[in-house]
Amino acid sequence: MTIDDAAIERLVGEARSGDEWAFAMIFDHYHEPVYRFIASRIQRPSDAEDLTQLVFVKVLEALPRYESRGVPFGGWLFRLARNAVIDYVRTRHDHTELESVIERARGDAGPDEVAIVRQELDAVAAALEKLTDEQREAVELRFFAGLSAREAAEAMGKQEGTVRGLQFRAIAALRRELGIEDGQVAAGTEFRAPRRVGVTNDG
Amino acid sequence: MFASTAGEFEIERRLDAFARARLSPLPGSKARTRARVMREARLVFGAQAQAAAVASVVGRMPATTHRSPFIRRGGGLLLAAGLALGLAGGAMAASDAGGPLYPTRIWFETFALPSNPSDRANAEIDRLSARLTEITDAAKRGDQAAVEAALLAYQRIADEAFAGAGDDSALTERLAAALGTHVTVLQGVAANVPAQAREAIERNITRAIDHNDATIERSRSHPAAPGAGSNPNPGSEPNPGSNGTNPDTTPKPTKEPSVAATPHPTQPAHAADPSPTADPPKGPPSEKSDNGPPEQNGKPTP
């Protein structure tokens, strides 16, 4: 399900006036992106789940104070999520351990394929760890949570151009780390955009 | 999405695969979170609707009266203040023991706990004392549901506190002393419950006392690392090989801690700060049972 920015703003307006259904729609739309963003920072899935819940409760509390005024709702929501993660990490001294997060096995893959996939995922995790904090955050917001550059900029409290720059440098660093040349595309994959979990489509 | 070259596409593909494989919610996670969040939403929106209804009544009042603007304004202010107090009172009542927001309040408390193990243990003892007050007040009223909710929260916090103390014998002893005192208080509460709810409340309190006894016993019989509470080398791990070999640092398990523990309820152990690299405490208590610690409420496992 994809919802455009205007639809999100309508839902937000309805939720602000006490429409439970509208808030449920907002939850359904943002749950996975928020969870992914949090899970990329928090080691334990159970903690990521609790923190995701906390973020939505905070959204509920802060919704009356939200004013659009050109600020995309996704960016505003992820700013709350980002602050919640920062608070959590600060109080728990829980650092990101990307390698240790749970991997969901693909049911349709054989043992060899699973081993190859795991190797590839481990390589991505290791490459992500070598990025700077800001570069990694840009990747997390843009690719894992599916935010637009504008939303990611709002969430990070930076200019849109800065976020684009961080993303550009992060991709370059990941390509170097993973040894990916321009001509190299994994066998059996066609050149199409991956599924996006986020909202907007400004790229 | 963003890719303009095959290399960039490949990076996106790998990041997407990584997110799907390792960052996606566990099955059932969304449903659990949704249920809890929407429960909160219903409460918040319900309160908003009540406020709006009252405001509309207030808005109609001046048209039918001939009071001066000053009096109308004063009346409006009084009504607004009354409404605010009513809403605040409603929210507070909802977060009281047994109220719908009570588990959320307890859960939020865990997020405010300090990270330093010693400070955290003190904060957990404060939380346990607060629950004890709630249990006492609810028992006096004969409010069975509130007693049950507060006891459940008490047991969870106790488990969490001991898990957070880990192998630090000073912290464990401090917690055990607090629980020992609480057992005495709980026994007193159980003996003075109003007749109409005596049986159920007594049963719950007895279960909590058993849980406390078992927790104290378990913590004392668990081989604590010698000197873990005053580790001169903060970076070093406790030596598992020496666990339980030093009888001086491992308090003897007592079968009846309720009486024995009362003479020294508070331990001046704040100075013995544990190592800063002690294991971080467990995460916030969760209603789910698949990811959390083993459920022990009412089922002591000595």
Q: What is the mean pLDDT of chain B?
A: 66
State how far the Cα of A183 lies from the Cα of A194, in Å rounded to an integer: 18
Position of tokens 């703003």? A9
Question: Is A187 within the bounds of a domain?
Answer: no
Residue A116: pLDDT over 50: yes
Residue among A48, A49, A91 whose CB faces B115 most closely: A91
Average pLDDT of span B237-245: 37
Domain coverage including residue A58: 5-178
> For residue A151, is it within any domain?
yes
Which of B12, B30, B41 is closest, CB to CB, to A194?
Answer: B12
Tell the residue number behind the tokens 């481990």, with chain if given: A122
Burial B19-39, CB ≥16 within 10 A → b, else e:
bbbbbbbbeebbebbbebbbe
Rounded to the nearest angstrom, the minimum Cα separation between A155 and chain B is: 19
| Number of structural domains found in chain A | 1
* Mean pLDDT on B198-218: 76
CA nearest to B290 within chain A = A46
Structural domain contains residue A79: yes
Instruction: Write down the pLDDT at residue B286.
Output: 41
- The pLDDT value recorded for residue B72 is 55
Distance CA B104, CA B283 (A): 14
Is A95 part of any domain? yes
**Would the pLDDT of B239 be above 50?**
no
Question: Environment class of residue A174 by beta-carbon count within 10 Å: exposed (0-12), middle (13-18) or buried (19+)?
Answer: buried
In sequence order, the 6+-apart residues with CB closer than 8 A to the CB of B247 are none
Measured in whole angstroms, how far is the alpha carbon of residue A88 from the centre of its chain? 17
Please list every residue in chain B whose beta carbon sits closer than 8 Å to the beta carbon of residue A61. Answer: 44
What pLDDT is recorded for position A203? 44
Q: Which residue has the higher pLDDT, B99 or B276?
A: B99
- Sorted by sequence, the CB contacts under 8 Å of residue B297 that are 6+ apart come out as B152, B155, B156, B211
Q: Write the CA distances from B183 to B133, B169, B179, integer angstroms.
A: 13, 21, 6
Q: To the nearest whole angstrom, how far is the Cα of A70 from the nearest Cα of chain B?
A: 23
Token couple for B282? 């467990």
Of all residues in chain B, the percent with pLDDT exceeding 90 is 4
Of B41, B115, B283, the CB nearest to A44: B283
**Type of residue numbered B110:** T
Out of B40, B44, B284, name the one closest to residue A50 (CB): B284
Between chains, do A189 and B42 touch, taking CB under 8 Å as contact?
no
Model pLDDT, residue B284: 41
- The CA distance from B37 to the nearest CA of chain A, in Å, is 6
Contacts of B16 in chain A (CB under 8 A): 143, 194-195
The verdict on a CB contact (< 8 Å) between B24 and A54 is no
**Average per-residue pLDDT in chain A?**
81
**Range from A51-55, B97-101, B133-137 carrying the lowest mean pLDDT:** B97-101
> Are A56 and B18 within 8 A, CB to CB?
no
Q: Dump pLDDT digits (tens) for A78-87.
A: 999 999 999 8
> Which residue among A31, A191, A196 places its CB closest to the CB of B9?
A191
Residue B19's SS3 state is helix
The CATH number of the domain holding residue A29 is 1.10.10.10
Name which of A104, A144, A180 is nearest B11 (Cβ-Cβ).
A180
Q: Does the beta-carbon distance from A23 to B32 stay under 8 Å?
A: no
Place of tokens 């083993």: B294
Of A24, A121, A183, the CB nearest to B18: A121
Q: Does residue A71 lie within any of the structural domains? A: yes
Query: Looking at chain A, which residue has its C-alpha nearest residue B20?
Result: A104
Q: A32 and B8 in contact by Cβ < 8 A?
A: no
Q: Which residues of A touch B114 (CB under 8 A)?
A: 91
ipTM, two decimals: 0.79
Which of A2, A113, A143 is the best mutation test for B, with the most CBs of B within 10 A?
A143
Report residue A90 as tokens. Answer: 């600060």
A199 within some domain: no
Count chain A–chain B contacts defined by CB atoms under 8 A: 178
Diameter over CA atoms, chain A: 54
Whether residue A200 is contained in a domain is answered as no
Do residue B25 and residue A32 have CB atoms under 8 angstroms apart? yes
> Are A87 and B49 inside 8 Å of each other by CB?
no
Which one of A158-162, A195-199, B127-131 scores highest in mean pLDDT? A158-162
What is the structure's pLDDT at A149? 93
Considering only CB atoms, which chain A residues are within 8 Å of B21? 103-104, 106, 117, 121
pLDDT tens string B46-81? 877 766 666 666 566 555 445 555 555 565 666 666
User: Residue A88 and residue B111: Cβ atoms within 8 Å?
Assistant: yes
Between the alpha carbon of residue A95 and those of residues A144, B172, B285, the distances in Å are 18, 26, 20
**What are the pLDDT digits (tens) for A24-61?**
999 999 999 999 999 998 878 888 999 999 999 999 98
Q: Do A104 and B7 touch (CB under 8 A)?
A: no
Q: pLDDT for A120-159, tens place per residue?
A: 899 999 999 999 999 999 999 999 999 999 999 999 999 9
pTM of the full predicted structure? 0.50
Whether A102 maps to a domain, the answer reads: yes
| Residue B45 C-alpha, separation from nearest chain A C-alpha, in angstroms | 5
Q: Which residue of A has its CA nearest to B286?
A: A50
